[in-house]
Structure 1
Amino acid sequence: MINKDAKLNPKVFEKDVEMKAVREGYSDGLIIAGEKDSNVVVLCADLTESTRAQKFSEKFPDRFFQIGIAEQNMAAIAAGLGVSGKIPFISSYATFSPGRNWEQIRTTICYNDSNVKIAGHHAGLMTGPDGATHEATEDIAIMRALPNMRVFVPCDAIQAKKVTAAAAQLWGPTYIRFAREKSPTVTTEDTPFTPGKAEIFWEGKKPQVLIIATGVLVHNALVAAKDLEKEKINDGGGAPSNGRARRRGGGSFGPARAGAAGICRPSKYFWRIRKPLGLNKQIRNGSKGHCSRSQKSYKAGRIIIHPSRHFLFPLLAPPPRKSPVRTSGSLSQRIEPLPAGRQGPMGSPRNFYLTSYYK
């Protein structure tokens, strides 16, 4: 059953549950942080509306800086602001920040323990029409590898607001991960949130299975816990976390260790990351996900939301196809199928490669 102390949304299992994008909470949290502290500033890499920094720019125009398409420069500027007493939030897509500017985050922000907050948007599979190039599935792993870095993954818009406001009050480098598309609202304004603590959202009388989740998949984990209860498996025991990871020095991912250790044996993790150092480093990393406008991407061929079955399996490679030669000046590019037994670049299931030659 749902943990009453968690004070979750009473309509969390209903069809008419409120659907709201996690990134909307970032917008509200920035306003709260900006009103509390005049040192809060926001930098954006030409994605003001998409990252929901628009409201802050309108309310505090003198504290908003449009850097343009220059994520590396944005990180370096923020590092200087952070060591100068400001509390900078840098906003971009997660594939670009921290994807493109990881070295600048490592060297200018983390090395100096600068008080910078990094907002990575469009994270995970729910990137809508933006495609696989904007689909960040490695961001948690690469940020966890950095010293002095906190990592937050809010499960809905309400928690995202709390996380953003709280991040402004915490000293040090911080990464916050936001999803693009609308997802069920799991929490309420009264749901407890303590940075660094795993919240138990579901309790069983005799728990046998532990479900750990973070981000938008917390809702799916709750649904799975409810299904287990119907099947009379450990009376549904499960413990979704509050979606926070921390990597500080030799620290480790796994906030549920403090809040849920000893409850029952670990069983399944609900996540959508393909690299080691994520929530479950055992999840395979040989395939690339596909983008979607909704949580259907977790059911359509990649993830089965059920803790008693394997929930990840590779996407099938597309069938070979012929493509006409494209000519630009004297340089022609041709798409050819890969030889049998070979994979595409970066281990992707795509079995085509681009060849260039001069006529």
Structure 2
Amino acid sequence: LRRALTDYLTRARGVRVDPERIVVCSGFAHGLRLLFGGSDGAGGAVLRGPFAVESYGLGFHHRILESAGVRTVPLGLDEQGARVAELTEGQRVRGVLLTPAHQFPTGGPLHPSRRTAVVDWARARDGLVLEDDYDGEFRYDREPVGAVQGLDPERVVYLGSVSKSLSPAVRLGWLVLPEQLVDGVLAAKGEREAWASVLDQLTLAEFIASGHYDRHIRRMRQRYRHRRDQLVAALAARAPHITATGIAAGLHAVLRLPPGTEASAVKAAAWQGIALDGLAAFRHPRATMPAADGLVVGYSTPAEHAYGAAVEALMRALPPGEEGA
């Protein structure tokens, strides 16, 4: 599997890697625990904090770090991604966790100048960048954004998984590590494979090496693009006062709402039988940037036969514009 991943990640994501730098794990959360320590690691912490994180992101990632004794410091976000210039301000941190290909959940890639700047920061401060490439294969309107890891493999830990490309039920992920971290992460993982099924690893290796994985990605990219286009068209026709952002890539969109309407929209969606979250659910508890109202809509989730009805139900849950108020 590590040999197959070496070929795929180099070709598809611009990662600079050889098999000896890859450690297979059961997913992104497991990878974090291997790096920072946790109940599933045999060794101690490989990395220590504090670490910077994006002001909006998955809360359980922050909680993994905090439970390992790593203080997280939120970075602001804007239309160019994380404000990495803030790394040189205020509390000094040892590293930063980013979603540079498609910021989660606000959408949009990290601007090229900021990609370069964060690597320059890591070199100058002996820091480390953790790159969460959770859906980097799914880009629709232009060529995929390559991995930040390709800029400096010794300053970036690249983390990926098949949770978005195949299924969250397939518990397989990987870390592409700087050379100096490999032994520590392997020690934390332990000598016996307790988490990532060997059979699953061999199956995924064959799936990649045979070319079926690439064909699967192309097929799913077309399907998700069609779903995105359906959502955007429905918004234009039924709710033109609401814009969708972060739609050039990934498996979700953020519907920007009028101020003060997020909570009621989430409740209205639940009444329509739709499970989704507002942006507030992803906001770091110590974030200082101004809050924004929005709905995070995962358009890959509904079954094919139910997608049209799900979009229709979502339209009914959205707050009206001024004319319909």
Does TM, scored on the shorter chain, surpass 0.5? Answer: no
Q: Identify the TM-score tier after normalising by the shorter chain.
A: 0.3 to 0.5
| TM-score with structure 1 setting the length | 0.35
| TM-score with structure 2 setting the length | 0.38
Q: Which has the higher contact order (CA 8 A, sep 6+)?
A: 2
Highest CA radius of gyration, 1 or 2?
Answer: 1
